[in-house]
């Protein structure tokens, strides 16, 4: 037979191996490209709506709400995350202009589909409004969970500091937390609705800033009547129920603001983050400590790590076990998007500027809730005490890393455009 003769010939044998290797290589290249290059392709085609839709629908392959929250989707991803020991990336120096350009490149994914059930949603109002629609990117990721960590995403985000990325953080330390965020609770803000008998298409949220404007507001009942109540920092309710309500669904923090809050507000009676039944913690991860601390909490470690920086901050004590199912981490791309698109500050500083913790909370709500009612934001700094819980008038402190006045203008713009309701006591007099 001819084939037996051929296979005896070493030249044919060699050719066969070559063909085999080439096809293997081509197949690997093809599957790699499909997965890794998609976010870059999407950002390139961002301005061509037609292309973007096409690419997303191709990648999403009938992604539905159910698929997006399906727990079993990313188990495999989680396993590879833990195993890989990725060295610190060595990124070349770039100019400020190039850096800003990179900061403005975002991952796009389909999380927004999860918040798309309500026909009167605040996001439809934004998309319909010529004064604000240029700020809004629909398919921006809001939360981050295990599927968002891969060596290539790690390298991309390694450029950005603090809340904006993974700068100087070790892959393994981040993955100790992210690899545990595998459940639908980590993908979707209002996870209690997933298995609830009552279906709710439009979600009403009260967002509570801590401004002195709330002192004497008598808004407590109205606040508590919302589906979800978001609070931040010194979220004191005991003794202030008439003005600020008592319900807390989401407590928002960064590790640094929380440790400052606990140090500064003990004297007002604030000793631990709120922990009523059903509480969810919305974390704005501003350093490696956050990931190490969360990972240690998940593993039940004791003692918990102090901050590795020169301040050696104490680990915070929660009154409930901090388990992955009550944690939601905001995606670093979302943080940078807020910085550039929503709090477009004239004082922006490459290294330190970020929106205030209260602003991040309100803007997360704007991207997930359907009706957003804000209290304790946008009050005059001259007229009202810094916070509602202070017994004596206390002046507002401006910090260099925030632009409070730009944020205030934004809240008033959103109110004027009838996108959010903002509690302003003067008008009600
Ligand atoms: C998406 O779902 C529809 C209906 O279930 C089906 O006809 C279509 O082939 C699916 N598309 C893909 C890409 O799987
Ligand atoms: C989740 O995924 C599993 C496995 O792929 C599948 O059997 C199940 O039906 C999915 N659940 C939903 C709600 O899509
Ligand atoms: C969007 O604008 C159109 C035309 O002005 C209006 O009919 C529609 O109700 C608006 N939709 C929303 C959700 O505001
Ligand atoms: C963070 O990662 C580095 C390098 O792998 C390691 O030396 C350090 O111990 C890690 N820190 C924690 C708290 O796991
Ligand atoms: C941000 O501010 C700059 C300068 O004021 C302006 O040119 C730009 O259009 C603003 N961008 C957004 C998204 O508002
Ligand atoms: C809060 O309101 C009460 C009653 O109007 C007033 O006596 C008190 O001084 C206010 N507190 C602050 C810090 O302004």
What pLDDT, in 10s, does the model give residues 242-280? 999 999 999 999 999 999 999 999 999 999 999 999 999
The pLDDT confidence band at residue 190, using thresholds 50, 70 and 90, is very high
Instruction: Quote the mean pLDDT of the chain.
Output: 85
The count of residues in the chain is 429
Residue 109 contacts residue 141 (beta carbons within 8 Å): yes
Atom of ligand 3 nearest to the CA of 125: 14
Testing ligand 3's pocket by substitution, the residue of 119, 127, 128 carrying the most ligand atoms inside 8 A of its CB is 128
Roughly what angle, to the nearest 10 degrees, separates helices 255-264 and 288-298? 80
CA 381 to centroid of ligand 5, rounded, Å: 25
288 Cα–ligand 4 center, Å: 10
**Residue 217 in contact with ligand 6 by CB distance below 6 A:** no
99 lines ligand 4 (CB under 6 A): no
Instruction: Compute the distance from residue 182 Cα to the ligand 2 centre, in Å.
Output: 14
Band the pLDDT of 402: cuts 50, 70, 90: confident
- 118 CA to centre of ligand 3 in angstroms: 14
Report the run of H or E that residue 328 belongs to, with start and end: strand 327-330
Percent above pLDDT 70 for the chain: 83
Provide the angle, in degrees to the nearest 10, between the axes of the packed helices 357-366 and 404-416. 30
What is the full DSSP assignment across 17-64? HHHHHHHHHHHHHHHHHHHHSHHHHHHHTTT-HHHHHHHHHHHHSS--
CB 210 near ligand 6, within 6 Å: no
Question: Which atom in ligand 3 lies closest to the alpha carbon of residue 128?
Answer: 1
Mutational test site, ligand 2, from 60, 62, 63, 72, max ligand atoms within 8 Å of CB = 72
Give 27-75 pLDDT, tens digit per residue: 554 444 333 343 444 344 343 343 333 333 333 345 677 777 765 555 5
Q: What is the pLDDT of residues 279-324, one digit of tens each?
A: 999 999 999 999 999 999 999 999 999 998 888 998 999 999 999 9
- Name the H helices within 321-402: 332-337, 357-366
Q: How far is the CA of 418 from the centre of ligand 3 (A)?
A: 12
What percent of the chain stands above pLDDT 90?
Answer: 61
Residue 421 bridge partners (DSSP): 373
Ligand nearest to the CA of 213: 6
- Residue range 222-231: mean pLDDT, rounded: 98
DSSP, residue by residue, 54-121: HHHHHHHSS--HHHHH-GGGGHHHHHHHHH--PPPP-PPP--HHHHHHHHT-----GGGGGG---TT-
Q: Kindly state if the Cβ of 59 falls inside 6 Å of ligand 1.
A: no
pLDDT, position 78: 54
Encoded tokens for 323? 């388990």
Q: What is the pLDDT of residue 52?
A: 38
pLDDT of residue 14: 82
Instruction: Say whether pLDDT at 127 is over 80.
Output: yes
Q: Which of 210, 215, 383, 396 to mutate to test the pocket of ligand 6 (most atoms within 8 A of CB)?
A: 215
Q: Which of 1-5, 58-62, 128-132 has the highest mean pLDDT?
A: 128-132
What is the residue with the minimal CA distance to atom 8 of ligand 4?
173
Count of alpha carbons within 13 angstroms of residue 155, beta-carbon side = 10
Q: Which of 112, 170, 412 is nearest to 289 (CA)?
A: 170
SS3 state of residue 156: helix
Ligand nearest to the CA of 242: 6
Radius of gyration (Cα) for the chain, nearest Å?
24
């Amino acid at each position: 037979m001819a084939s037996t003769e051929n296979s005896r010939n070493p030249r044919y044998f060699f050719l066969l191996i070559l063909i085999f290797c080439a096809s293997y290589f081509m197949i690997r290249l093809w599957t790699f490209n499909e997965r890794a290059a998609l976010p870059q392709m999407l950002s390139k085609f961002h301005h061509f709506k037609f292309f973007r839709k096409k690419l997303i629908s191709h990648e999403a392959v009938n992604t539905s709400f159910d698929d997006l929250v399906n727990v079993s989707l990313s188990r495999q991803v989680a396993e590879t995350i833990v195993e890989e020991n990725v060295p610190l990336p060595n990124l070349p120096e770039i100019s400020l202009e190039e850096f800003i350009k990179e900061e403005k490149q975002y991952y796009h994914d389909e999380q927004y589909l999860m918040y798309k059930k309500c026909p009167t949603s605040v996001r439809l109002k934004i998309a319909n409004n010529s004064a604000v629609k240029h700020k809004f990117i629909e398919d921006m990721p809001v939360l981050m969970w295990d599927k968002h960590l891969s060596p290539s995403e790690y390298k991309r985000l390694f450029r950005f500091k603090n809340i904006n990325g993974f700068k100087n953080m070790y892959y393994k330390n981040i993955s100790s937390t992210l690899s545990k965020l595998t459940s639908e609770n980590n993908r979707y803000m209002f996870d209690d609705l997933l298995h609830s008998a009552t279906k709710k298409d439009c979600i009403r949220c009260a967002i509570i800033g801590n401004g002195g404007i709330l002192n004497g507001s008598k808004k407590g009942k109205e606040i508590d009547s919302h589906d979800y109540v978001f609070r931040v920092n010194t979220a004191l309710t005991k003794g202030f129920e008439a003005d600020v309500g008592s319900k807390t669904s989401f407590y928002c923090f960064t590790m640094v603001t929380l440790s400052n809050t606990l140090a500064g507000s003990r004297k007002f009676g604030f000793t631990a983050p709120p922990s009523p039944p059903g509480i969810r913690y919305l974390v704005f991860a501003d350093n490696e400590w956050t990931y190490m601390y969360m990972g240690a909490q998940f593993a039940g470690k004791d003692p918990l790590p102090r901050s590795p920086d020169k301040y050696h901050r104490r680990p915070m004590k929660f009154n409930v076990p901090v388990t992955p199912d009550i944690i939601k981490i905001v995606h670093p791309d979302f943080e940078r998007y807020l910085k550039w698109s929503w709090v477009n500050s004239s004082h922006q500083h490459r290294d330190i500027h970020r929106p205030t913790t209260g602003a991040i909370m309100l803007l997360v709500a704007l991207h997930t809730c359907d009706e957003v009612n804000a209290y304790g934001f946008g009050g005059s700094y001259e007229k009202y005490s810094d916070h509602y819980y202070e017994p004596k008038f206390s002046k507002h402190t401006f910090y260099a890393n925030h632009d409070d006045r730009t944020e205030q203008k934004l809240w008033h713009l959103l109110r004027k455009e009838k996108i959010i309701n903002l509690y302003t006591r003067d008008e009600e007099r």
